[in-house]
Amino acid sequence: MMFEKIKKDYLEAVFDTDGEKAMRVIRDAVAGGVQPEDIVFNVVVPTLDLMVKAFAENMDANLAQHYMTAQIASDVTEEMIPKFKKNPASGGTIVIGTAYGDFHSLGKMIVSGCLKARMIKIVDLGVNVAAERFVGEALAAGAHVIAISAMMVHTAHGEKGCQGVRKLLKEKNLENKIKIIVGGAPFRFDRELYKTVGADANADDGVTAGKIIENLIREVLE
Amino acid sequence: MISASQRLAAALKGERLDRIPVFCNLIDQGARELGMSIRQYYSRGANVAEGQLRLVKKYGHDNLWSLFYVGREAVMLGCDKINFPDDGPPNVADFIIKTPEDIKKLHIPDDIYSHPEFQEEIECIRIMRKETEGRYPVIAYLTSALTLPCILMGMEKWFKLLLFGPAELRDELLNKCCEFFRKHLAAYKKAGADVFLYSEAFGSTDFVPMKMFREFCLPWIEKDLEGVDPQGMVYYCGSSRLNPVIDAILERTRIEAFYPGPLDDAAESGRILNDRALFAGVFNDIRLIEWTPGEIRSEVKRIITAGMKSKKFIFGTSVIPCCVPETKIRVLLDAALEFGVHERR
């Protein structure tokens, strides 16, 4: 019952893009004796899942809400993890970056913020990442997923982006070990584009991407 | 013979000439027409003018673009790192605002028209006007105060400042960006542009909640447009949807034309506007990559049929990607020119 009330208040604050209120809800809960592990796994992560569901059902969700959701989830998780009784189990590893020639980092930041709460290790390659680097760094980190953000048609569709990564994974026989997810405006305007460029999955927004990446990691591990 | 400018003027008044105006946003394709690299093409206003003139002659649409690339404003404000790809639009590769101190140091030039970086735009417009003698509207692209910070500091940092503050620093930046917008508009007017696309990503509820739009964004939009002659001003939110904000913009500004996103429904735009202002039915250009000629024609027909129920309507495209082959651009334009013909009364 207590978790339901905390979750409700936290969800409301995130939906209203009220960062201060969201953090106050969390701090009050901790002061009231709620364990840091419960804050992350029974409040923040279920709220992310509720946001994913809400975004899927409600076309009026907007970029500011996505940003705020990720930022708060990231801030709360960073504040709670040092207070955990033991180190949390890893949810897998991903490498993330923007496609070659693309300098738009907002989508990448939103995805990373949401993944942190899911205990997924993120290797952030930054912006303007070549296909060879995506694959090389994924191998070095033992990553299960390569996440590529592209906000422009030529970086989403071009051979130096996802198509190049797919080609390399195929050549190195890594397609069953590393999955590719793409995101960004061009993929929202053409729902089939992710298949054309050789990705395994596409996410409409950064918050939803967190959930899809979690599923992709599970697929690889199975 | 009816000119493109006459066609647009008639549409703005809700009058019918031969057909609806057809706006086609072919930007980087000008480089291909001239056999130049993207970098070389955008180095001279004369190149952009020649590229645009050739494209209009080739496809028969009704607009000339004086836009070089989004990011020119950042160059005028000190950015010296632009990424010029082979196959797409140039892109700001380094942001001039990295710290709060950079906002304080940001200087808006007194006069944009005489700014060295604006001289190629002036030359571009001069050539287009001379060659066409006013038969085609020349469009200028202007970035709103709320949107300009995206190319000065990046979306990620701008969102953080916008949503978390400090409010004083945010407002200091917005005041400078508003000043730049108004001076930029004055420069384009002096250079002879006819249509002014007011690009306002934060004026869409795809970007911000309606409450924030009404309470925070709308006052900044009003400030940008305060005292501005509305003739030729077009409200545009990039590829984002704007149908939900049309009423608010009409109530609070003197905007007379709207250029919706490709995911806005043209029939709904028409219903909301009810001939109070001109609007475009906008084709989703990314689909040109995959769609067959038959699918392209059918979608053009659907948009135009829905839009032409309104008197003040034009057909438009978003921004056609470089990878779209000429044959498909031709199919798109031919369909728009065919289905957009007014029935004789």
B82/A contact by beta carbon, under 8 A: no
- For residue B162, the chain A residue with the least C-alpha distance is A64
Give the gap in angstroms from C-alpha B93 to the nearest C-alpha of chain A. Answer: 6
Domain end among A83, A103, A133? A83
Kindly state whether residues A56 and A122 are assigned to the same domain.
no
Minimum distance, in Å, between the CA of residue A1 and any CA atom of chain B: 30
Whether residues A105 and B154 touch (CB distance < 8 A) is answered with: yes
Q: Are residues A75 and A106 in the same domain?
A: no
Question: What pLDDT is recorded for position B38?
Answer: 96
Q: Of A16, A23, A62, A187, which to mutate for an interface test with B (greatest number of B Cβ within 10 Å)?
A: A62
Instruction: Answer with the one of A38, A58, A83 that is the final residue of a domain.
Output: A83
Which pLDDT tens digit goes with each residue over B109-147? Answer: 999 999 999 999 999 999 999 999 999 999 999 999 999
**Helix (H), strand (E) at residue B258:** strand B257-259
Query: Do A75 and A114 contact (CB within 8 A), yes or no?
Result: no
Whether A213 is covered by a domain: the verdict is: yes
Q: Is A150 helix (H, G, I), strand (E, B) or coil?
A: coil
Specify the pLDDT at position A20.
85
A97: in domain:
yes
| Rounded Cα–Cα distance for residues B126 and B66 (Å) | 10
Question: Can you give the residue ranges of every domain in chain B?
Answer: 4-339
Any CB–CB contact under 8 A between B57 and chain A?
A: no
CB-CB neighbors (< 8 A) of A190 in chain B: 284, 286-287, 289-290
Residues A200, A107, single domain; the answer is: yes
Q: Nearest CA of chain B to the CA of A128: how many Å? A: 9
Nearest residue to B209 (alpha-carbon basis) of A97, A91, A14, A86 = A14
Distance CA A168, CA B170 (A): 44
List CB contacts of B154: < 8 A, sequence separation 6 or more. A103, A104, A105, A106, B95
| pLDDT at A171 > cutoff 70 | yes
Nearest CB partner across the interface for A158, out of B87, B89, B93? B87
A140: left (phi over 0), alpha (psi -120 to 50) or beta: alpha
Q: Within this chain, do residues A20 and A98 fall inside the same structural domain, yes or no?
A: no
Structural domain including A215 reads 93-221
Same domain, A64 and A103: no
| Structural domains in chain A (count) | 2
pLDDT per residue, tens digit, chain B (345 aa), is 899 999 999 999 999 999 999 999 999 999 999 999 999 999 999 999 999 999 999 999 999 999 999 999 999 999 999 999 988 999 999 999 999 999 999 999 999 999 999 999 999 999 999 999 999 999 999 999 999 999 999 999 999 999 988 999 999 999 999 999 999 999 999 999 999 999 999 999 999 989 899 999 999 999 999 999 999 999 999 999 999 999 999 999 999 999 999 999 999 999 999 999 999 999 999 999 999 999 999 999 999 999 999 999 999 999 999 999 999 999 999 999 999 999 865
Residues of A in contact with B160 (CB under 8 A): 71
**C-alpha to C-alpha distance for B199 and B142, rounded to whole angstroms:** 6
**Domain of A209: which CATH number?**
3.40.50.280
Mean pLDDT, chain B, integer = 96
Q: Are residues A133 and A26 part of one domain?
A: no
Name every chain A residue with its beta carbon within 8 A of the beta carbon of B163.
Answer: 17, 19, 64, 67-68, 71
- Closest residue in A to B204 (Cα–Cα): A62
Minimal C-alpha gap between A6 and chain B (Å): 23
Handedness of CA A118, A120, A124, A130 (dihedral sign): negative
The residues near B190 (Cβ < 8 Å, ≥ 6 apart) are B113
Residue bearing tokens 């982006």: A161
Provide the shortest C-alpha distance from residue A78 to chain B (in Å): 17
Whether B208 sits inside 8 A of A62 (CB atoms) is yes
Mutate to test the interface with B, among A12, A58, A60, A63 (most CBs of B within 10 A): A63
Residues A186 and A128 in one domain: yes
A110 and A54 in a single domain? The answer is no
A149 & A211 share domain: yes
* Domain boundary residue, one of A51, A83, A115: A83
Asked whether residue A132 is assigned to any structural domain, the reply reads yes
pLDDT at residue number B213: 95
Q: Is residue A68 part of a domain?
A: yes
**From B87, B208, B321, residue closest to A64, measured CB to CB:** B208
Same domain, A177 and A141: yes
Cis ω for the linkage preceding B166 (within 30 of 0) = yes
- B25: closest CA among B199, B230, B207? B199
Q: Could you give the count of Cα atoms lying within 13 Å of B136 in the half-sphere of its Cβ?
A: 28
Nearest C-alpha neighbor of A127 from the set A152, A108, A114: A108
Q: What is the CATH number of the domain that holds A75?
A: 1.10.1240.10
CB pair distance less than 8 Å for B156 and A102: no
Flag whether residue B83 sits within 8 Å of chain A, measured between CB atoms: yes
Do A15 and A121 reside in the same domain of the chain? Answer: no
How crowded is the C-beta side of B140, counted as CA atoms within 13 Å?
Answer: 26
- Give me the helices (H) in A32-161, please: 36-38, 45-57, 63-80, 106-117, 131-141, 153-157
**For residue B233, what are the β-bridge partners?**
B196
Q: Are residues A114 and A207 in the same domain?
A: yes
Smallest Cβ–Cβ distance between A185 and the set B87, B209, B239 belongs to B239
Residue A88 lies in a domain: no
Tens-place pLDDT, residues A46-85: 888 888 887 777 656 788 888 988 999 999 999 999 999 9
- Report the CATH fold assignment for B4-339: TIM Barrel (3.20.20)
